[in-house]
Structure 1
Amino acid sequence: MRIKTHSTLLLLAASITLASCQSTPKNTIIDKQVYVLPKVLIEALADTDNDGVPDELDNCPNTPEGVVTDEYGCPVAVNLIGYLTMELRVFFERNSNELQTKYLIELEKVAEKMHSDPELVVVLSGHISEPEAVQIAVDIDGKMNQAKADKRLLGRERAQIIKNALIKRNIARDKIYTFDCADSMPIAPNDTEEGASMNQRIYGKALKADDFYTGSGHEQSLTYYKEFCQQF
């Protein structure tokens, strides 16, 4: 009888101990480990000219500092210089005055800028490359026919093409000033095909009429253009 009672007490004590091990006290905080993704260090892609486009994607790898570029690292045709000034650059194939369709959106931007302020005028200067000028000289001094003689006006024709495009966009004729600058104002060496193509261009600028007339900013004034170019 004593042995049985003692066994019963031992079993009861063991049950209580086991139950206490399996239960979790209330208000107990269980630590949870949060999985954190490891940081992977990625080496920055090289961007030699610091235009924001990696060299491996940059189609114009030597862009000057401060020039606004597109997603391919090349200068954009239109550049907002200030609140009331806008530049336009249009380039042409050798001995051509054909306006490429890719520049139409830039013309739209200039027209929109002009419509935004009645005091603005637009100045257009037509330029040719030295190789084009040499060809023209040969045509004029040698045996000349009408088709070749017309090439003398190539810079003028390029400016006129842009002027007509702006007129079609409801810009008044008396707000457009055009100049034939021939090959007198190159922006790149003419001894390479790429350099010559940069000189086969139209340069335009929309600015305040007073600034243009009075010569505010000499390089964008009427006086400056008359020093190098023929107004028409």
Structure 2
Amino acid sequence: MRIKTHSTLLLLAASITLAGCQSTPKNTIIDKKVYVPPKVLIEPLADTDNDGVPDIIDNCPNTPEDVVTDEYGCPVAVSLIGNFMMELRVFFERNSNKLQTKYLIEVEKVAEKMHSDPELVAVLSGHISEPEAAQIAVDMDGKMNQVEADKRQLGRERAQIIKSALVKRNIARDKIYTFDCADNMPIASNDTEEGMSMNQRIYGKALKADDFYTGSDHEQSLTYYKEFCQQF
């Protein structure tokens, strides 16, 4: 009986040892380095003219301050400021007073705005670039009195084109004020083609008549325009 018990214990010990040898070893990896992606610092895209459109997609990279732009950084033709004023910008080819058809719908918007509020008046200022003014001066052979008279002519014609378009849309003539500003109020440098193009323009506004007459905002007032421009 004692021998049988001893044999049983030996058999049990051998079974345990064999089971231990057949167990699955742990999958231990020594010195494994965890991959950490490198941090990439993304710098803000450059926006030279601070119009909110990055230079990489800005088609008009030298837009002046306070000019409303589209998604490509170029001035928009019409912008509504609050409930009381609408701005209009129309640009012209060099030495041209021809109104491009793409601006007609913008003129229509101004007319609609004025029809919606009988207290609004339209203010139109015609502008030319320095090269346009210089060309006129060369043509006149330095006769300054005649140059000054003719320098205003192109800006005057541009303003008159927009006035006529508004009148055709049933805006009363006595609610439209026109100014010829020549090259006295540039909004961009005349050193680049783009800057010159921006200066060859009509700037228009539909605003409350009282604001325009009394000059509650000097830069929107009749007095302000008379400082730089000739009313006609």
TM over 0.5: yes
**Structure 1 residues 152 and 125, CA gap change in structure 2 (3 angstroms):** closer
SS in 1 for 2:196: helix
Distance 1:54 1:126 in 2: 30
Normalised by the length of structure 1, the TM-score is: 0.71
* Match of residue 140 from structure 1: 140
Alpha carbons of structure 1 residues 45 and 69: separation in structure 2 relative to 1, 3 Å:
farther
* Alignment partners' CA distance in 2, 1:63 and 1:187: 8
**More divergent stretch after superposition (46-55 vs 132-141):** 46-55
Shift of 1:71: 3.7
* Alignment of structure 1 residues 1-232 onto 2, 5 Å: 47-49=45-47, 56-61=56-61, 68-141=68-141, 152-232=152-232
The answer on whether the counterparts of 2:127 and 2:183 sit within 8 Å (CA) in structure 1 is yes
* Ranges in structure 1 where 5+ consecutive residues have no aligned partner: 1-42, 144-148
CA RMSD, Structure 1 to Structure 2 (Å): 2.7
Residues 188 and 198, structure 2, Cα contact 8 Å, conserved in 1? yes
Contact 2:127–2:202 (CA under 8 A) maintained in structure 1: yes
- Quote how far apart the aligned CAs of 1:214 are: 0.5
Give me the whole-angstrom Cα distance separating, in 2, the residues matched to 1:183 and 1:62. Answer: 18
Residue equivalent to 2:16: none
Shift of 1:96: 0.3
What's the % identity of the aligned pairs?
Answer: 86
Question: Would you say the 8 A contact 2:64–2:188 is kept in 1?
Answer: no
Aligned residues: 186
Contact 1:94-1:132 at 8 Å conserved across structures? yes
